[in-house]
Amino acid sequence: MLGIPRDLRRVYTDRDMYRVAKLLLLASAAMAQPSYDLLLKGGHVIDAKNRIDAVRDVAIAGGRIALVAEKIDPVQARKVVNVAGLYVTPGLVDIHVHLYHRTNPPPAATDESVNPDAFSFRSGVTTMVDAGSSGWKDLADFRDHTVKNARTRVLAFLNIVASGMHTGRENDPTEMDAENAARIAKENQDLIVGFKSAHYAGPGWAAIDGAVKAGNETGLPVMVDFGQITKERNIDTLLLDKLRPGDIYTHCFSGHREELLENGTLNPAMVEGRKRRIIFDIGFGQASFYWYVAIPAYQAGFHPDSISTDLHTNSMNGGMKNMNNVMSAVLALGSSLPDVIRMSTWAPAQEIKRPQLGNLDVGAEADIAILRLENGNFGMLDSAQARFGGTERIVTEMTLRRGAVAYDLNGLAAEDWRRFNYRKGPFFKK
Ligand SMILES: [Zn+2]
């Protein structure tokens, strides 16, 4: 009866007091067992799908987003990471990369593929989509040797060329096997998000027609690297006749296929294509992004729908570098930060028909990028190594994959070494 005023003693019976004590015990037990594994505290959340562009706390439990709210009590979380001053976004989705080291036949000396985890997390990327490195004949090998071993979520556009990319068969119409491509895509729905046509130099439209046919049979989009154009195989016919709404034109600022007219203005076919809901994707790559194309496009109000790297060994140390650098380039062109984040998360997730990705829905896998926007004098290079001066740069501070820290540049989630228990080991968990 301690602490209860004398006049109230008459009101509460012993049985009431027992109930109160029981409730207090339950409440303290609940407090002793936090509901969340991790709380990201005080970051600026940009989540295009949920129309959030504000300071929010993000709680994670069981590898999934548990709550996004203005204030979440830190006592509810096992671990709290202060991310004030940083941007918290869905894990970035890069829909154009090359990841496949074919084993049969072994990779040629010209193989350009990279290891997914070596490039993804340090750039905030949690989903990579291989853009047609494998065809239907070698998809199983790609799955066994790349997809299964990666911690990064790896998806793929299946090359319409049965033998895949850089096998010397990319101009062979007998390789454009829509039936088998569609069949393999249906059998591998967890992996395949569409079909790719790339590097085609003729004859006719076999590669595009084959990819679209496979797309029609599966309800999946096609991504096109338009290869070499001719008078007959031109961008007008591609964008206004051949491709379907939702199909993706990658390398949109390459200038190699008359995206820009000879007088330096944007080809009206690009604008007309967009009206038909053709998607325009960056695909920076080794030779597919030039300021002299991108700037007139921006001056005409033509912005990309999605940002992708076309990561491979010949692009990674050139103007492209990584996803954050390509995002910074698009920021320098004049897109706002929320637009750049949308183009790198929710927009590509929708393009590949994976609406469970690229957002921070409660219940979604907790794939998260924590980004810093740096101010200063920066230079961004295009594929010709021409420089564009910018004042903002996006840098990845931390990346979470399924709620676990996959990359942590400054140890935001780490303990100070003086308090760290070195005996508990292992020191590094993959
Ligand atoms: Zn590519």
Using a pLDDT cut of 90, give the percent of the chain over it: 84
Per-residue pLDDT tens for 292-314?
A: 999 999 999 999 999 999 999 99
Burial 186-205 (b: 16+ CB within 10 A, else e): eebeebbbbbbbbbbeeeeb
pLDDT score at 166: 87
Burial 55-81 (b: 16+ CB within 10 A, else e): bbbbbbbebbbbbbeeebeeebbeebb
pLDDT score at 102: 86
Rounded to the nearest angstrom, the distance between the alpha carbon of 419 and the centre of ligand 1 is 46
Using a pLDDT cut of 70, give the percent of the chain over it: 92
**426 preceded by a cis bond (ω within 30 of 0):** yes
Is the per-residue pLDDT at 378 higher than 60?
Answer: yes
Rounded to the nearest angstrom, the distance between the alpha carbon of 285 and the centre of ligand 1 is 7
Is the per-residue pLDDT at 407 higher than 70?
Answer: yes
Is the per-residue pLDDT at 29 higher than 60?
Answer: no
Is the per-residue pLDDT at 345 higher than 90?
Answer: yes
| pLDDT band (50, 70, 90) for residue 18 | confident
Rounded to the nearest angstrom, the distance between the alpha carbon of 63 and the centre of ligand 1 is 32
| Cα–Cα distance, 53 to 332 (Å, whole number) | 20
Rounded to the nearest angstrom, the distance between the alpha carbon of 388 and the centre of ligand 1 is 23
Rounded to the nearest angstrom, the distance between the alpha carbon of 228 and the centre of ligand 1 is 14
Burial 311-329 (b: 16+ CB within 10 A, else e): bbeebbebbbbbbbbbbbb
Q: How long a stretch of residues is the chain?
A: 430
Rounded to the nearest angstrom, the distance between the alpha carbon of 381 and the centre of ligand 1 is 19
Higher pLDDT, 429 or 173: 173
Angle between helical axes of 323-333 and 337-344 (0-180°, round to 10): 140
Rounded to the nearest angstrom, the distance between the alpha carbon of 283 and the centre of ligand 1 is 7
pLDDT score at 424: 77
Rounded to the nearest angstrom, the distance between the alpha carbon of 241 and the centre of ligand 1 is 23
Rounded to the nearest angstrom, the distance between the alpha carbon of 272 and the centre of ligand 1 is 24
Q: What is the mean pLDDT of residues 56-74?
A: 98
pLDDT score at 422: 85
Rounded to the nearest angstrom, the distance between the alpha carbon of 45 and the centre of ligand 1 is 31
Rounded to the nearest angstrom, the distance between the alpha carbon of 52 and the centre of ligand 1 is 32
Rounded to the nearest angstrom, the distance between the alpha carbon of 318 and the centre of ligand 1 is 15
Rounded to the nearest angstrom, the distance between the alpha carbon of 254 and the centre of ligand 1 is 12
pLDDT score at 365: 98
Q: Which amino acid is at 317?
A: N
| Cα–Cα distance, 62 to 393 (Å, whole number) | 33
Rounded to the nearest angstrom, the distance between the alpha carbon of 393 and the centre of ligand 1 is 24
Rounded to the nearest angstrom, the distance between the alpha carbon of 96 and the centre of ligand 1 is 6
